[in-house]
Amino acid sequence: GQQLNQSPQSMFIQEGEDVSMNCTSSSIFNTWLWYKQDPGEGPVLLIALYKAGELTSNGRLTAQFGITRKDSFLNISASIPSDVGIYFCAGQYNTDKLIFGTGTRLQVFP
């Protein structure tokens, strides 16, 4: 089935560093969302984006809806150990089902 491509697949960073990850699609979306999943848990919604070009923040997290509507970016500033987990982007076109990306695995070292 259709999936979104996320990069990088995994990241190993030092506590305090900033993190950037992105998500691309061959087709356009009307909505982009970013989720975080901890081991053994369900995904938790971080940020929802509804307009092309939109830039939205949630604490140390900032996400942008790409102008082409085919990509989105998530930045995490000043990472801390509890940022460890898997970050998924998800996109929706019109009222279609939500499609999830392949995930970016983040590891933060103290």
Partner 1 sequence: NAGVMQNPRHLVRRRGQEARLRCSPMKGHSHVYWYRQLPEEGLKFMVYLQKENIIDESGMPKERFSAEFPKEGPSILRIQQVVRGDSAAYFCASSPPGYRAVELFFGEGSRLTVL
- Site residues for partner 1 per CB under 8 A: 1, 3, 31, 33, 35, 40-45, 48, 88, 90, 92, 95-103
The CB-side HSE value for 106 (13 A sphere, CA atoms) comes to 29
Of 13 and 86, nearer to partner 1 (C-beta) is 86
Query: From the CB of 59, what's the least distance to partner 1, in Å?
Result: 18
Neighbours of 28 (CB within 10 A): 13
Query: From the CB of 78, what's the least distance to partner 1, in Å?
Result: 26
Contact 54, 47 (CB under 8 A): no
